[in-house]
Amino acid sequence: MPTKIRSKKINVQLIVEAFYAMGIRDIVISPGSRNGALTMDFVNHGGFATHSVVDERSAGFVALGMAQKTEKPVVVCCTSGSAAANYYPAVTEAFYQNIPLIVLTADRPANFTDIFDGQTIRQENLFEKHTFFNTQLSEQDDDEQIYENFIKIKKAVFSAMEQSGPVHINMPFSEPLYETTEEKLINFEQITPPIFAPETLDWEALKNELSQYQKIMILVGLQRPSKWLNHALKNLAQLPQVIIFTENTSNLHGEKFISRIDNVLFEKEKIKNESLAPDLLITLGQNIISKKIKSFLRINQPKAHWHVNPYWFPDTYFCLSKEIKQKEEIFAEALSRNIEPKDSEYQSTWLKIREENEAKQNEFLQNLDFCDLWVFQKLINSYPADCVVQYSNSSVIRYSQLFEHRDDIKIFCNRGTSGIDGSTSTAVGFAMKTEELVCLVTGDISFFYDSNALWNRALPKNLRIVLVNNGGGDIFSIIPGPENTGAGKAYFKTEHNLCAKPLAELFGLEYTLAKDKAEFKNALNQFFSPSERAKILEVDTANAQNAEMMRRYIKLAKL
């Protein structure tokens, strides 16, 4: 068996062996000298899947996508200075989306800070406001410091697991950086993480409170696919006093669920209708996309609001009355066993509104010209079974909310901070950890902004990218305000004539362009089929009446 080359720095061997003993397996590395010893030991260890991504901003989101898929902590490792700062967008997204990310940054020695030495910034606690644990390891290699470093490493990893979020470990390195040894200086057995117990609830008290409410709304935000939760909510949907609202990012499906929320709340009269307001609002999961439902619940505040989540208790509607620290599926299943049916027309009233509105909207959609709205309608009905769909932000995720999605696909979107900056990289990272087909649907601004995501020598062949290119940020042609500023096209919409073909050729992706209905339908016939390379389907809608069609749709929905 060949001898492994390792760093002579005992704290490098310490963190590498500790990570492995605690079950860490994926390491995303960006090149640099200060992290060279870490790179050497991760790569030569043999137990890690190591991934090279040059751009640290992209690397952070690639790691996020991997952790999104595996539900296990993923390490990102880089050199010092601005390289570390480039992780910040991914760190904030992981923080608000509860994605376990371990940020491992190499640094200059502490006495090099603020003396104008190269690649040196105030790096300790750099991500403090958006991480669940921060620590700086010591360079000292005496037994006491090694043990103290081990305790810090263990706390960091266990915090990432317990909080399901990002942590930061900063490691100063003095030169020489590349001294090697064949000796293994650190040995660990498996280190088992603690079991995190959910909160115990007083269901007798909750049952007594539930009996007071005639109108209960369950609103589910961003949520990983869960058959258990879906089953429990279907049972709750049999109760006449319960209406369930979901979004496509909830990954939940039921005949009595309202999943196209904005379609039932386009009318201002509905938003101001107190009779539709719930007595009790129960929210599950994370971020809600719909601004309409937020406005509705802020104007018509319920008597009580319970939020259920293991991590976050945001007062989104300014009426939070109970924080329930439990996994959503555990709570929903228990709720279905502890609630009695009421003589109520609350659910039937909402379902009647849904039926009336969707009939008008579906008729309108049958006669669309070629435009963004038509593209989304056709695309959503074309996803293959068991496909994973990653939606980018801005207009893309909002268009997607207008349509029903099948229950045999999974939906993801970076709604933690809702930025456009890492959607492509996230999809790449997700696709790198699965055999499933992963389809990114993205707008042009988001795609070109994150084009370094394609600069990846391990770009997975199961990745498909649908690029809806309307020649700029077309959402600013739809929302009220930008058109009255005098700076709309250049500074809000940022019109352009870019296309993805040169990027596809540069990075080795298959490329297809569609400019009308016939070309788009024809392209879809082969787009999802197996291939040895990732694929891009660019849909050019720059000359379509996108904003006008959307305004007509909204006007119809208000009738």
pLDDT for position 115: 78
In a domain, 181, yes or no: no
Q: How far apart are CA 468 and CA 542, in angstroms?
A: 9
Q: What are the residues whose beta carbons fall under 8 Å from the beta carbon of 267, sequence distance 6 or more? A: 557, 558
Whole-prediction pTM value?
0.93
328, part of any domain: yes
Q: What CATH number is given to the structural domain containing 276?
A: 3.40.50.1220
Give yes or no: residues 339 and 403 share one domain.
no
* Cβ–Cβ under 8 Å, residues 217 and 243: yes
Question: 300 is written with which tokens?
Answer: 């018509």
* Residues 423, 348 within the same domain: no
Give the up-direction half-sphere exposure of residue 95: CA atoms within 13 A in the CB hemisphere.
17
What is the model's pLDDT at position 273? Answer: 79
The full DSSP string for 180-245 is: EES---------PPPP-PPPP--HHHHHHHHTT-S-EEEEE-S----HHHHHHHHHHTTSTTEEEE
Co-location of 287 and 167 in the same domain: no
- Tell me what pLDDT residue 217 has: 98
Domain boundary pick from 130, 155, 174: 174
228 and 94 together in one domain: no
Residue 476 lies in a domain: yes
459 and 545 share a domain? Answer: yes
Mean pLDDT per segment of 10 residues, for the chain of length 559 residues? 84 97 98 96 97 98 99 98 97 97 95 80 95 96 94 97 97 93 88 81 93 97 96 98 98 97 78 86 96 93 96 94 95 96 96 89 87 95 96 94 94 95 97 98 96 96 97 62 59 79 98 97 96 97 84 72
Distances (CA, A) of 129 to 99, 167, 325: 16, 11, 22
User: Residue 199's pLDDT is what?
Assistant: 79
Alpha-carbon Rg for the chain, nearest whole angstrom, is 25
Same domain as 348, residue 389 = no
Provide the CATH number for the domain around residue 531: 3.40.50.970
Specify whether 337 is located in the same domain as 432: no
Instruction: Please indicate, yes or no, if residue 196 is contained in any of the structural domains.
Output: no
Strands 6-7 and 180-181 come out as: antiparallel
290 CB-near residues (< 8 Å, 6+ apart)? 247, 261, 262, 265, 401
Residue 234 in contact with residue 254, Cβ under 8 Å? yes
Report in angstroms the alpha-carbon separations of 53 from 27, 28, 79.
10, 7, 13
Instruction: Tell which of 292, 321, 355 closes a domain.
Output: 355
Token pair 């082969």 in the structure block, residue: 526
Strands 388-391 and 535-540: unpaired
Structure tokens at 314: 């945001």
- Specify whether the CB–CB gap between 408 and 434 falls below 8 A: no
One-letter identity of residue 92: T
Same domain, 328 and 419: no
What token pair was written down for 281? 């609002």
Range of the domain at 243: 203-355
Residue 214 domain-assigned (yes or no): yes
Residue 46 lies in a domain: yes
User: What's the total number of domains in the chain?
Assistant: 3
236 and 346 in a single domain? The answer is yes
Instruction: Examine the domain organization and report whether 553 and 442 are in the same domain.
Output: yes
The answer to whether the beta carbons of residues 180 and 5 sit under 8 Å apart is: yes
Which of the listed residues 329, 355, 381 is the one where a domain comes to its end? Answer: 355
Contact of 298 with 318, CB cutoff 8 Å: yes
What's the CA gap between 466 and 454, in Å, rounded? 14
Q: In whole angstroms, give the CA distance from residue 482 to residue 484.
A: 5
Q: Is residue 64 part of a domain?
A: yes
Q: Are residues 152 and 247 in the same domain?
A: no
| Domain shared by 406 and 462, yes or no | yes
Amino acid at 352: K
Q: Let me know if residue 514 belongs to a domain.
A: yes
pLDDT of residue 559: 44
